[in-house]
């Protein structure tokens, strides 16, 4: 009568296997001689057999988001619908690069668990010579020259909640604070190399990668198809990668395994995860992601919206808990990070008294295009009370964070100085 279903969970082989695989994933189990790829495949099968990723059983004090595979410990993430925001304060424990397990996840639907052995990239369209269709396997990509680039990925809506909490304005979309950003070392091949190998024609103007995740259906039931967004050819040939590694490891499932597009400095939606095909077109292309979304709409903008958004604006964030308690009469070293899509950050000014007085922060990294700069400031608060920390960055192209951001209905590109509350006790 001991069917697998009837066994208590601790005696079920499949539950044991899932637990063991999960331990391996979090570094708690050894697996010498077994390839990571094999273990990831087993993990995927175990997850599929159990129905959903949540059936792995979350680790202690971890939340789950529908459709995200990796554990989301409360100390690292805030779950927002199908997405997970990194807690910026917890970046104080990390180096320049954001570890894969702490990197924010923005999913329109859910993470597809793909098998790299079955994966093929199809490049097609009338922008290729002879309007042909060319396929690349992962091994084909690995045979091309590999390139490594450090770049942040940041959601265009990062900081959106401050339109409401700081400017009293209504906006739609996920109410991110400042943790929809992370910086990683990406390795892969140049999109330019792949396009040229596929036979790039002289009339090509746009390139549209499309993800292999499920169709995106809006809250009011419109099926917009799979996530896809055109890139002008000039950007596609410039610094865009088809990345297969993140911080020295195969891309994690949630970040696009086996291959994602990485568009340095541009809004996150350009960096299509789980890319399955790329259309190369001799005419400009459109998708909901460059028409209805990811333009600026609202009173201050044209009725048809701004031009499609490309580069990120300038931002700064403190690596300090929101509303932290800080002891009076003690010297504190406060840290943070600033970044910009236009150029490396060259200067950060901070205020610990709500903007009354300002001083330059000490920068710990050289300005880096598509990367961030870590900084610190020493503070000796003498009197208990409520304080507001401010940080204002300037990038090498001369952009400085403003006091307010011009409103747009979807709450994109919030770049104003954020008012960060702390209490001195």
Q: Which residues bind ligand MTE (CB under 6 A)?
A: 103-108, 153, 155, 211, 213, 227, 255, 268-269, 271-274
Is residue 234 classed as helix, strand or coil in its secondary structure?
Answer: helix
Closest CB 158 distance from ligand MTE, rounded Å: 8
Sign (positive or negative) of CA dihedral 236, 263, 212, 219: negative
Q: How far is the CB of 270 from ligand MTE (least distance, A)?
A: 8
270/281 with CB nearer ligand MTE = 270
Q: Where are the alpha helices (DSSP H) in 86-223?
A: 138-143, 161-165, 191-198
Rounded Cα distance, 71 and 18, in Å: 13
* Residue partners of 262: CB distance under 8 A and separation at least 6: 149, 151, 153, 186, 188, 240, 241, 242, 243, 271
Residue 129: CB minimum distance to ligand MTE, A: 28
Please give the structure tokens belonging to residue 336: 């943070």
Residue nearer to ligand MTE on the CB measure, 136 or 216: 216
Query: Among residues 256 and 344, whose Cβ is nearest to ligand MTE?
Result: 256
Give min distance, CB of 62 to ligand MTE, in A: 17
Question: What do you get for the CA distance between the two ends of the chain, in Å?
Answer: 64
> Least distance from C-beta 109 to ligand MTE, angstroms?
7
Residues 6+ apart with CB under 8 A from 96: 150, 183, 365, 371, 372, 374
Nearer to ligand MTE, 160 or 273 (CB): 273
Torsion on CA atoms 123, 127, 130, 134, rounded to nearest 10:
-10
User: CA 405, CA 419: separation in Å to the nearest integer?
Assistant: 13
CB of 213 to ligand MTE, least distance (A): 5
Task: Please say which residue, 19 or 108, places its beta carbon nearer to ligand MTE.
Answer: 108
Residue 212 beta carbon to ligand MTE: minimum distance, rounded to whole angstroms: 7
Residue nearer to ligand MTE on the CB measure, 229 or 392: 229
162 vs 289, beta carbon nearer ligand MTE: 289
Nearest C-alpha neighbor of 389 from the set 330, 328, 318:
318
Q: Which of 7, 211, 10, 253 lies closest to 115 in space, CA to CA?
A: 253
């Amino acid at each position: 009568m001991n069917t697998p279903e009837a066994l208590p969970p601790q005696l079920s082989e499949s539950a044991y296997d899932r637990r063991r695989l999960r331990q391996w994933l979090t570094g708690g189990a050894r697996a010498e001689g077994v390839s990571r790829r094999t273990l990831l495949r087993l993990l995927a099968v175990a997850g599929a057999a159990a129905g959903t990723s949540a059936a792995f059983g979350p680790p202690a004090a971890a939340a789950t988001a529908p459709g995200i595979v990796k554990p989301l410990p409360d100390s690292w993430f805030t779950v927002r619908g199908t997405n997970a925001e990194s807690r910026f304060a917890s970046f104080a424990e990390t180096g320049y690069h954001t570890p894969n397990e702490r990197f924010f996840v923005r999913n329109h639907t859910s993470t597809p668990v793909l098998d790299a052995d079955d994966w093929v990239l199809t490049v097609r369209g009338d922008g290729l010579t002879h309007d042909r269709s060319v396929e690349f396997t992962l091994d084909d990509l690995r045979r091309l020259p590999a390139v490594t680039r450090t770049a942040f990925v940041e959601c265009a809506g990062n900081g959106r909640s401050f339109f409401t909490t700081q400017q009293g304005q209504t906006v739609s979309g996920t109410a991110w604070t400042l943790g929809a950003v992370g910086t990683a070392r990406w390795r892969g091949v140049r999109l330019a190399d792949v396009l040229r190998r596929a036979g790039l024609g002289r009339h090509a103007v746009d390139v549209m990668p499309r993800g292999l995740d499920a169709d995106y259906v809006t809250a009011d039931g419109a099926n917009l198809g799979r996530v896809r967004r055109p890139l002008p050819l000039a950007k596609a040939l410039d610094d865009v990668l088809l990345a297969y590694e993140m911080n020295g490891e195969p891309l994690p499932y949630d970040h696009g395994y086996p291959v994602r597009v990485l568009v340095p400095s541009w809004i996150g939606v350009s960096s299509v995860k789980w890319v399955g095909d790329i259309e190369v077109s001799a005419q400009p292309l459109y998708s909901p992601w460059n028409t209805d979304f990811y333009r600026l709409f609202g009173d201050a903008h044209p009725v048809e919206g701004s031009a499609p958004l490309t580069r990120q604006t300038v931002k700064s964030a403190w690596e300090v808990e929101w509303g932290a308690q800080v002891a009076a009469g003690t010297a504190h070293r406060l840290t943070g990070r600033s970044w910009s899509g236009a150029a490396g950050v060259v200067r950060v000014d901070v205020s610990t008294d709500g903007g009354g007085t300002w001083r330059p922060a000490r920068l710990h990294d050289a300005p880096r295009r598509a990367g961030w700069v870590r900084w610190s400031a020493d503070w000796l608060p003498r009197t208990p009370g409520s304080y507001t920390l401010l940080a204002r960055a300037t990038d090498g192209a001369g952009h400085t964070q403003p006091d307010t951001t011009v409103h747009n209905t979807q709450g994109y590109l919030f770049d104003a100085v954020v008012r960060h509350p702390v209490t001195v006790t």
